[in-house]
Amino acid sequence: MLLFGAHMSIAGGVDKAIDRAEKVDCDAVQIFTKNNNQWNAKPIPPEQVERFQQRQEEAGIRAVVAHDSYLINLASPDDALWEKSIDAFRVELERCELLGVPYLVTHPGSHTGAGEDFGIQRVADALNRIHIDLPGYRVMTLLEITAGQGSALGYRFEQLRAIVDRVAEPERVGYCFDTCHAFAAGYELRTPEGYAETMDAFDRILGLANLRALHLNDSKRELGSRVDRHDHIGAGMIGLAGFHNVVNDPRLEGLPGLLETPKSDDLHEDAENLARLRSLVGAPRPEE
223-258 burial, b at 16+ Cβ within 10 Å, e below that, comes to bebbebbbbbbbebbbbbbbbbbbbbbeebeebbbb
List binding-site positions. 67, 107, 144, 178, 181, 215, 228, 230, 260
Distances from the Cα of 168 to the Cα of 31, 128, 131, 163, 205, angstroms: 28, 6, 9, 10, 18
Distances from the Cα of 278 to the Cα of 2, 131, 151, 231, angstroms: 9, 38, 35, 17
List binding-site positions for Zn(2+). 67, 107, 144, 178, 181, 215, 228, 230, 260
β-pair type (256-259, 218-219)? unpaired
